[in-house]
Amino acid sequence: MPPQIKRLLLLFGLFIGLFLLARYLLIPESFGKYGHYRGNSLYENMELPIQYAGSESCTECHADVADDKESDIHDNLSCESCHGPSLAHVNASETIGVEKPSGREFCGLCHSRHSARDRNVVFQIDLAEHNADKDCIECHNPHKPWDLKEQDTPEEAF
């Protein structure tokens, strides 16, 4: 056997050995136990404290807002999608408030024009052009966005 082949085989064997050693050291023991992810992550996530209360908890005290939202295009969103985790507020509503998001950037997370979004599902606007000097909630109630505060129609507003 020529010496070049011997050196290549030795180098190839060394590469495979280093690969197997790195794989042994880097891949967690629980990887692949329940599928193509780290099995222990399930137990680690179960140990995290619960922070979300669910929309039903919001409806108990805020039925009027829930009724508005129910007849709206945002009816399929959980309250906590926009207002954040609310378990602390539910447990101590007199002392702990919920996040009241506003701002063009916040609404733009879902409603800014993006070619990957289905325009028939999420209404999109160009934040740079659409009432650039105003905050969204100056004209739109997020719980009833089609109930415009100005005399615009939805087509004119977007």
The mean pLDDT value of the chain amounts to: 85
For the chain, what are the domain ranges?
Answer: 37-100, 101-158
Asked if residue 87 lies in contact with residue 52, where contact means CB atoms within 8 angstroms, the answer is yes
C-alpha–C-alpha distance, residues 30 and 60, integer Å: 42
pLDDT tens string 69-109: 887 777 888 899 889 999 999 999 888 988 888 788 888 88
| Whether the predicted model's global pTM rises above the 0.75 cut | no
pLDDT of residue 154: 46
Ranked by mean pLDDT, which of 8-22, 28-42, 116-130 comes out on top?
A: 8-22
pLDDT tens string 131-156: 888 888 888 888 777 666 554 444 44
- Reported as half-sphere exposure (CB side, CA atoms, 13 A), residue 1 has a value of 8
